[in-house]
Every structure is written in C-alpha cells, then in structure tokens.
Amino acid sequence: MTPFRKQYLELLKQLVAIPSVSAKREHLPETAKILGQALANLGGQVEIDDRYFAPLVIAHFDSPNPEAKNLVIYNHYDVQPAEPFDLWDSDPWTLTEKDGHLIGRGVDDDKGNITARLTALAEYLDEHQDQLPVNITFIIEGSEESASQHLDDYFNRHPEIEADLVIWESGAKDAHDRIQLVGGTKGIVTFDISSKTAAADLHSSLATVVNSAAWRLSQGLATLFDQEGRIQVPHFYDEVQEPNQREKDLIAQLPIEREAFIREYEVESPLLTDLRGDDWKQALYFEPSLSIEGISSGYEGPGVKTVLPAQASAKLEARLVPGMDPDVTLQRIKDYLEAQGFEDLEVTKTLGQGGYRSDMSDPAIQQIIDTASNFYPGQPVVSPTSAGTGPMNYAYQALGAPIVGFGVGYPDTYDHAPNENIRLVDYYENIDFTKAVIASFANQPVKPRKESAVAR
C-alpha cells in the first residue's frame, strides 16, 4: 500500500468515527474542519463556509495551464443515522476491516468516496510534480442526507464557480462487477397530511355520530392513488420530461432483470407496472411516484382500546422526474384534495428539490465513458439517471455543466442501512480510475474559456 493510501485510510477511520448525522445536526462543523484541514494539507485553497448549520467545505486546486478546463467534484460528509444499532454486526462508528471489506456508517455514502478521491489527487500530484492538467474544485456539503438545505443558497452566492464537468458524489459496481456511470437523479417533494376531528380522542361509542380523524385521513389519501398505482391528481404528469430514445435504450440495456428484482426485494405483491401493463424498468427510472412513508393515528398498543381518534397524520413523498417542480406538484395535490371535499385535511411541505438528467452524449461525459472503457476490462454501464434522489439539479442550474457519478460501492453496499460496507478491491480500483480521469484532461483539445460566469 502506498503511503497515501494508508494516510487517507486513516482519515476515513477518523471520519467514520464521527457521527456526523445531518438529521440530528450533530458533529457537522467538526467534520467540516477535519476535511478542510486535509484538503489544505494537500495544497488546496480552502474555504469553510460556516454560515450554515452544516458548513460547506470548498477547495480549489489550480492547474498551471491557463487554458485548463474546470472540474467540480461534489461530495457530502454527513451520514444517515445508524439506528437500529442492534442490526449492525460491528460498531457503526468504528471503521472495521473484515474479509476484504470496510464496514461502518458512511463508508460508501459518502466518506469513502471522499477519501478515495483525496488519495487519487494526492498520488496524481505526487507523480506529476504537483502539476494538474485540470482545475479541480471540491464542493463538500454536510446536509445532503437532509435534502441539501444549503447547497442552492451556496451556489447562488458563488456565481464565480466554473465547471466544464461535475463528478457526482458516489456510485456502485453492478451485479456483474461493471462500473456504473450515472448522469441523473430524481427530485422529491415530501409533505405531511393531517386530520383533526375533535379536540381530543373520544369514547368510540360516539362513532355513529362523530367522524374519526383516521377515517377522514385514509379516505383523503385513497383519492390520490388508484389500485394499479396511477396517480389521480390532475396535471400531476403534465411536465414530465419524456426520455429520448438513447435514454430509453440505455435503461433497457441495464443488466437488471424483473425476476431478479422481485427476488432481491422479496416482493410479495404484483408489480404495479404489471397491473398497468407498463415496462417496469422504464417506469422505475423515468416516471414520478407518490407514496405514503408512514401513517399514524389512535391506539396502536397491545390489546384493545375502544377509542375514536381525534387526530391522524401521514408522511408522504412524491419522487419527481426532470421537468416537475416540487412546489407546483404539491399545490396540485392540495387543490385536488380540496376539490374532492377534503379541504379540512392539512397539507404541510417538509422538503423539496427538482430532478435532473445529463445528456449522456455530451463530449465531457463521453470523455469519462471512454476513460472507463479503457480502464476497466468490461464496458461501463451507462445510466442516464438513478431511481434515487439527489441535489444534482442545484448543481446543474448553477454550473450549467453535465454531471456524472461513479464511486466505490457495489450491489451489497447497504447505504442508509445497517452494515454499510464497501470492498477494498473496489476502493483501490476507484482510486486508480479517478487518477485516470484526472489524467484524461491532459492533452485535451483546449476549448475557449467561458466568459465571466457572473453573466449566468
């Protein structure tokens, strides 16, 4: 192992030991400080923007070439809560090495990706007399797991940041050990719907006369979704950006099969797409969803309690595809509930962000696809979007550059779940691939630099 690999594995150990859980707002400034220090030690011009509860860490590494392109590398240092602790085989806050795996909360999402990239940069600088062929800006935020609450504001305050390409936070190998390059994320709007039918819970003998909040809420919710999973809200799908043929082909080629998908998740009900006669893979990536995350009301303990619930509430989310606006979508849901006679239900927005898909035939992305094709023995799997959500859209709106993600994960990485882990072999390979990506900017045809980014 090179000294740099050892040094940054030590940093990963240190980072995993800090429970930087953005949902709890814990240990965020101290994690930002450690990263700022690590980037400064590498020779970066570092800024820690601590106007936010989760400070952003920015570091610039300049190429001596005045015409060098600009690469932005985006990561996040916050993690999901580690609960339930008893489902972990080792302490989530201790980086544990076992059978060629590294285990710990954040080891994939996203601290391991950060240290792999720092290792790649350190080795590249060391092997090339500190001469980068591309200007690199790291943007490392601390509230990604809480809908990137500061990222939009940060970009608005920093119109001077330029990018020809953005490398996204993470990614994983597929089940056939092929690197996946992903160019998009869905958006999301999350919200609560609640009902209140009396000042306090009542004796349930009154149920012939007094409505229960539990009925009221479930009747309202039931209007939103039909039994085959079609969202009933008028105009919900109006702005959905239809995938082009290349995007459809890329998704059709993804090596995931329907039967394997059903087996992997032990799905016990028919697929909604089967009920509707739709293509499940295209729907998974290109269609929005509307789902209930949780419902609570009344008595849920052991035995019987004959009570009439006065309050009921549900948490919901809509996963959005490019073209859809979180606030417009939520307003349509509100309007529809009202039109259906549920004006008494209270709808409260919690979080929202838009979705984004890169044009995977953009030359800047093609450069990464080519680098991956040359580096890996098999062809990379190119996907125009993931089915998950992330703040890519903020970065695209601000930087106007195509975005592609790849990372240190594999199919059993268990992001957000107990026993989050990566394989050491992928970790080291990712370091070498990232070095190849940096090197791919050397001997590039130079294109004229953009005019001042302030004009954006």
Beta bridge partners of 312: 195, 297
Q: Which region, judged by CB under 5 A, interacts with Zn ion, from 105-113, 246-254, 275-283, 291-299?
A: 105-113
4 Cβ contact partners less than 8 Å away, ≥ 6 residues apart: 119, 122, 123, 126
Nearest distance from C-beta of residue 172 to Zn ion, angstroms:
12
Q: What is the dihedral of CA 138, 143, 147, 151, to 10 degrees?
A: -40
Which one of the spans 103-111, 149-157, 179-187, 308-316 is the region binding Zn ion (CB under 5 A)? 103-111
Closer of 270 and 388 to Zn ion (Cβ): 388
Rounded to the nearest whole angstrom, what is the least distance from the CB of residue 77 to Zn ion in the complex? Answer: 12
* CB of 301 vs Zn ion, minimal distance in Å: 33
Q: Which residue's CB is nearer to Zn ion, number 35 or number 308?
A: 35
SS3 state of residue 273: helix
Applying CB under 5 A, which part among 107-115, 259-267, 306-314, 334-342 lies near Zn ion?
107-115
Alpha helix stretches (DSSP H) within 17-110: 28-41
Is 109 or 317 the residue whose CB approaches Zn ion more closely?
A: 109
Q: How far is CA 149 from CA 184, 327, 385, 397, in A?
A: 19, 15, 22, 15
Of 231 and 392, the one with the shorter C-beta distance to Zn ion is: 392
Q: Containing H/E element for 135? A: strand 135-141
Three-class DSSP category at 410: coil
Q: Tokens representing 414?
A: 């268990």
The minimum distance between CB 305 and Zn ion, in angstroms, equals: 38
**Cβ atoms within 10 Å, residue 388:** 12
* 212 vs 389 by CB, closer to Zn ion: 389
CA distances from 445 to 135, 363, 367, 398, 441 (A): 15, 12, 12, 25, 9
Q: How far is the CB of 78 from Zn ion (least distance, A)?
A: 9
CA neighbor of 430 nearest in space, from 94, 16, 112: 112
**Shortest CB 188 distance to Zn ion, Å:** 13
* 164 is a contact residue toward Zn ion (CB under 5 A): no
How many chain residues interact with Zn ion (CB under 5 A)? 1
- Using CB under 5 A as the binding rule, whether residue 109 contacts Zn ion is answered as yes
Judged by beta carbon, residue 109 or residue 247, the one nearer Zn ion is 109
**Nearer Cβ to Zn ion (109/287):** 109
Nearest to 115 by CA among 39, 22, 21, 17: 39
| CB hemisphere CA count around 187 (13 angstroms) | 25
Which residue, chain included where needed, has tokens 């954006």?
456
Q: What's the min distance (Å) between Cβ of 170 and Zn ion?
A: 8
Give me the least distance between CB of 429 and Zn ion, in Å please.
Answer: 22
Task: Give yes or no for residue 78 binding Zn ion (CB under 5 A).
Answer: no
Min separation Cβ 80 and Zn ion, Å? 6
Name the nearest CA neighbour of 331 among 345, 316, 314, 348. Answer: 348
- Pick the closer one to Zn ion by CB: 105 or 334: 105
What are the helix (H) ranges across 287-415? Answer: 326-339, 363-375, 392-399
Structural tokens at position 360: 């995977």
CB of 111 to Zn ion, least distance (A): 11
Could you give the string, one character per residue 369-388, with x where binding to Zn ion holds by CB under 5 A and - elsewhere?
A: --------------------
Of 107 and 314, CB closest to Zn ion: 107
> Near Zn ion by CB under 5 A, which window of 104-112, 282-290, 309-317, 439-447?
104-112
Where along the sequence are the contacts to Zn ion (CB under 5 A)?
109
